[in-house]
Amino acid sequence: METTTDTVPKVDRPGWPEIVVGIAAMAVVGLGLPIAASGQVDLTSPVGGAILACLSGVAGLAGFAAAAAVRRRPLRSFGIRRASARWMWWGVAGGVLALLAKGLLTPLFLMLAEVPTDTQAGYAAGASSGPWLLVVTAIGLAVLTPIGEEFFFRGVVTTGLLRYGAVAATLGSAVIFALLHGINVVLPAALIVGIITAELRRRSDSVWPGVVVHAFNNSITVIAYALVPGIV
């Protein structure tokens, strides 16, 4: 596999200002809006879960938009550029690898740590409560969230951390990605997806293979929620 670790000129890379501003924007949208709406909508209900699924993607896009607004630069500086079919297939392979690793590591993690396991109950309720809410939840989790989170976490965070080298960029951005999902049952899966997508972004110089990884895994999750009501 060919490696392109430094194709974005250093002067063009986002940095800590973009990372901090982006995380703040994500927090406002992803945490602030649900808190503000909690008195109006039951976010643990099927409708609330479908709304949260879409809000997850919107938060990522808000984070990217805020980060990109800090300093004007072309989208290719964030890795938002076309990827070859070969790299998109590597994204599919990465999605399969992430799914297998998640199946192995999540039970082990739960054996070693007592963490919340119901943090995605709203998503599960949305996906298993009829065709319309399933469609909305699927759009939120399998389309909006992969695009929004990959644009920000890989386009901004991984790209920004490349100034410290490949290992720091891949592992550092993956840890930030995982921790921002919370200390809960999702942590191992988020860390695995973060490592795979960051490495694909670094090697392919594009965020799109990572979007494929993310969409593949989230699609399987939505299907599981739809087919096995009550699973979290």
pLDDT single digits (tens) 38-53: 778 777 789 999 999 9
Quick check: is 103 in a domain? yes
Residue 181: other Cβ atoms inside 10 A: 18
Residue with tokens 């991984």: 158
Mean pLDDT of 21-38: 91
Lowest-confidence range among 99-108, 111-120, 155-164, 172-181? 111-120
pLDDT of residue 75: 95
Quick check: is 4 in a domain? no
pLDDT digits (tens, 9 = 90+) for 111-160: 999 999 888 889 999 999 999 999 999 999 999 999 999 999 999 999 99
Check pLDDT > 70 for residue 5: no
Write the CB contacts of 169 (distance below 8 Å, at least 6 apart in sequence).
Answer: 158, 159, 161, 162, 198, 202
Tell me the residue type at 117: T
Quick check: is 208 in a domain? yes
pLDDT of residue 22: 98
Quick check: is 232 in a domain? no
Quick check: is 106 in a domain? yes
In this structure, are residues 140 and 56 in contact, taking their beta carbons and an 8 Å threshold? yes
State the total domains in the chain: 1
Check pLDDT > 70 for residue 2: no
Range of the domain at 49: 10-78+87-227
Of the candidates 61, 72, 74, the residue with the CA atom closest to the CA atom of residue 25: 61
Quick check: is 193 in a domain? yes
Q: What angle do CA 110, 111, 117 make, to 5 degrees?
A: 25
Quick check: is 96 in a domain? yes
Token digits of residue 47: 């409708």
Distance CA 67, CA 148 (A): 12
Quick check: is 55 in a domain? yes
pLDDT of residue 232: 60
Q: How far is CA 210 from CA 86, 122, 215, in A?
A: 13, 25, 8
